[in-house]
Homo-oligomer: A and B are copies of this chain.
Amino acid sequence: MVAVDREHLRLVSEEDSSKRRQILDGARKVFMDLGFDGASMGEIARAAAVSKGTLYVYFADKCALFEAILEQEALQHGQVAFNFDPARDVETTLKDFGSAYLHLLCRPGGGSAIRTVMAIAERMPDVGRRYYARVLDKTVNRLAEYLKAHVACGDLNIDDCDLAASQFMELCKASLFLPFIFQAAPSPSEERMTEVIDSATRMFLAAYRVK
């Protein structure tokens, strides 16, 4: 009995008890499909295969559960192994990064996190800000760091590397991301993504490569 109780305590106190993860998995799906308001705790409980009461054992309220998911999303994003090894040549690095980034955005359900957070950014500004800082801005910074290294070694001639990083990322989305997220087009094909990324890379280098 004592053993059991200890076990129980461990489960909830640890960040990653299996129940907790189970809830997060179910909740993510529901939140991303239906949005913050569209997702009901009942639906989440069903998706996670736990009772509604159990949700409140692990999370104070709906909002806390949502933020926990974004937290997790941020961690996963951070772990996506963009290869920013400064030793790699710029063109290859940009193309690889662009491809990974675009796949992330346009995978089915991929735009959902962005969309979902965006939707409530006005009502819950902290959530929006944190998501931007942890996920989006962080990636810009990592690319910017890479660019700075190549500015330093004379490959590139860039004044504002943060801006340049953002520019490249925006270029990768050209003609693809908005139609996708507005449901005006399905996930783009591999060929089209390659074309767009090649074009983005060409344009970027035309502007910033030292000749």
A residues engaging B (CB < 8 A)? 32-38, 112, 115-123, 125, 128-129, 131-133, 136-137, 140, 160, 162-163, 166-167, 169-171, 173-175, 178-179, 181-184, 195-196, 199-200, 202-204, 206-208
Contacts and interface: CB of A to CB of B under 8 A. Distances in A.
A166 to B, nearest CB: 4
A33 B119 CA distance: 10
Given A35-B37, A129-B184, A167-B175, 10 more contacts: A37-B37, A122-B183, A132-B182, A163-B199, A167-B199, A167-B203, A170-B173, A202-B207, A203-B203, A203-B208
20 contacts: A33-B123, A37-B37, A38-B120, A115-B122, A119-B119, A121-B181, A121-B183, A129-B182, A140-B175, A160-B199, A163-B195, A167-B174, A167-B175, A167-B199, A167-B203, A169-B174, A170-B173, A203-B203, A206-B207, A207-B207
Chain multiplicity (copies)? 4
A185 to B, nearest CB: 9
Contact of A182 (B117, B169, B184): B117
A121 B128 contact: no
B37 A163 contact: no
A136 B92 CA distance: 31
Contact of A132 (B35, B132, B178): B178
Nearest to A120: B35
A120 B170 CA distance: 23
